[in-house]
Amino acid sequence: MPPTTPSSLVEMRHLTFGYGERAVLDDVTLHIPRGKVTALIGPMGGGKTTTLRLMGGEHRAWSGQMLFDGQDIGPMDQQQLYAVRRRMGMLYQFGALFADMSVFENVAFPLREHTDLPEPLIRDIVLMKLNAVGLRNARNLMPSEVSGGMAKRIGIARAIALDPDLVMYDEPFSGLDPISLRVAANLIRELNDSMGLTSLFVSHELKQTLEIADHVIILDSGKVAFQGTVAEVRASTDPLVFQYVNERPDGPVRFHYPAVTLDQDFGITI
């Protein structure tokens, strides 16, 4: 097996995985370029969130490899996996803040869990991360006191608390008003560049996605339908890619669920 491409932080190589007996990802090969913002998009049910779970080691591949910085996550024991996870940050849908912790305590949580830093230093780091997302003065609020957009930004501050190499965002734009959506999109782009991160996000908000991404991967039915730059995805003539990027209601992804003919159902010919 050839070594990991130096320009890629994450790679899947001929990876197959599913739930029960159903394969969700089927012989998938893809890469996440180091230092870039990668958008993972495609029709619902294509395996996008499952891909994030595999990258975090929540699931293990049935076959193939899940590589992080050249290391295969699949055979790792718990100690090795936790060491790799400390190099990753994750923004969950809707922020997933701890409801009984203040904003400050939420962001401090990974620092206390994974480091032995003294409290004064933890305080300074938390305030710096909150300042980076524009919420330093919200430190004492509880999650019930913040808006949905603020919760997303607090989740981002928590995701970058350990200065990770990779930050994964699962639907960072869902449920946001236009202003909050733009703020979240700008944050992903600006934090990636200013902190030297590698960012991967799952989204269905195509306009914002294609504005901030460097690299685009489209998954459909457990396969990679496209992988390349934003310019390349916009210019693609592949029927599935064209339908998705141009938001067409019908095409390879059909409007009608597969069914018998109308004649068979109703005894008529149309």
Both tokens of 40, joined, read 């993972």
Using alpha carbons, list the distances in angstroms from residue 91 to 95, 97, 128, 184, 192: 6, 10, 18, 11, 14
Cα dihedral 50→53→54→57 (10° resolution) = -160
Closest CA to 27 of 81, 78, 63: 63
Amino acid at site 194 = S
- CA–chain centroid gap for 134, Å, is 22
Residue 163 three-state SS: coil
- Domain at 8-87+164-266: CATH code: 3.40.50.300
Which tokens is 269 given?
Answer: 């010919």
CA atoms of 58 and 88, how far apart (whole Å):
13
How far apart are alpha carbons 133 and 169 in whole angstroms? 15
> What are the pLDDT tens digits along the chain (270 aa)?
344 455 889 999 999 999 988 889 999 999 999 999 999 988 887 788 899 999 988 899 999 999 999 999 989 999 999 899 999 999 987 668 899 999 999 999 999 988 899 999 999 999 999 999 999 999 999 999 998 888 989 999 999 999 999 999 988 888 888 888 888 899 899 999 999 999 999 988 888 899 999 999 999 888 998 999 999 999 988 888 888 888 777 777 666 667 777 777 777 665
pLDDT, residue 3, reads 43
Per DSSP (E only), the strands in 1-82 are 8-19, 22-33, 37-41, 63-68, 71-72
Give the sign of the dihedral formed by CA 257, CA 262, CA 263, CA 269.
negative
The domains of the chain are located at 8-87+164-266
The three-class DSSP label of residue 10 is: strand
